Amino acid sequence: MKGKYSYLTISGRSEGQYKEKGSKFIGIALPCTSPELAKKLLSQIEREHHQARHWCYAYRFGLKGDVYRANDDGEPSNSAGAPILGQLQSFEVTNVLVVVVRYYGGTKLGVGGLISAYRTAAKEALNTSEILEREVFEWIIIEFEYNVMVRVMNILKKYRLEMVEKVFELSCKLKTNLPMDSAELIRDELCSLETLEIESIGIY
């Protein structure tokens, strides 16, 4: 299988700030892998900053960052969510949620000022984050009879595969992850064993 086998993301929560004409913009970047988790994290931030005026955000998910959303939360259209998303794209990170919390200072900034403020706050949050490169694997479950266990173990040892979950009885089952650049080769070798079946869980 040809394609991209790793992606950039952040290790944990990070924050950055930007102030303009009395308004304070707090950028918060968080690891996040689904819209459902994004909703929960956003609710937590709204509780943390319950006196703020706006909680604008953007997220980007997936190996190629092709699942994304931007939300202006009442600010003029495309003045908040889009510039936040732009920073996620600029840093080339995925599986990340960035929320920018705005405390209103009493002076309107105009659309141009808002775009600059939200972009800068998001950038500051990502600047302070630890960016990691994560390798992607194909995760599988292997089911086989006990009599071929030694041969299965030899293949796992040969390719230095880890056993995440395992059950060894008359009928055996284990979960492991295959490096994408050699997944097909390993699958073929495993499938050459009698009584063995492979279930693909997914690529992540």
In the structure, what pLDDT confidence band is assigned to residue 2 with cuts at 50, 70 and 90?
very low
Single out the residue of 32, 36, 52, 38 nearest to residue 105, CA to CA.
52
pLDDT at 63: 85
CATH of the domain at 187: 3.30.70.240
**Percent of the chain topping pLDDT 90:** 90
Rounded distance, CA 121 to CA 100, Å?
Answer: 7
Are residues 122 and 172 located together in one domain of the fold? no
Q: Could you tell me if 14 and 87 lie in one domain?
A: yes
Per the CB < 8 A criterion, the answer to whether 144 and 135 are in contact is no
In sequence order, the 6+-apart residues with CB closer than 8 A to the CB of 185 are none
Together in a domain, 149 and 194: yes
pLDDT in tens, 11-39: 999 999 999 999 999 999 999 999 999 99
pTM: 0.79
Last residue of a domain, one of 99, 115, 133: 133
- pLDDT greater than 90 at residue 75: yes
DSSP code at position 93:
B
Q: Is residue 1 part of a domain?
A: no
| Residues comprising the chain, all counted | 204
Confidence at residue 153, expressed as pLDDT on a 0 to 100 scale: 96
In a domain? residue 141? yes
Report the pLDDT value the prediction gives residue 202, as an integer from 0 to 100: 87
Main-chain phi, psi angles of 105, to 5 degrees: -100, 5
Contacts of 50 (CB under 8 A, 6+ apart): none
* DSSP sequence for 167-188: E-SSEEEEEEEEETTTHHHHHH
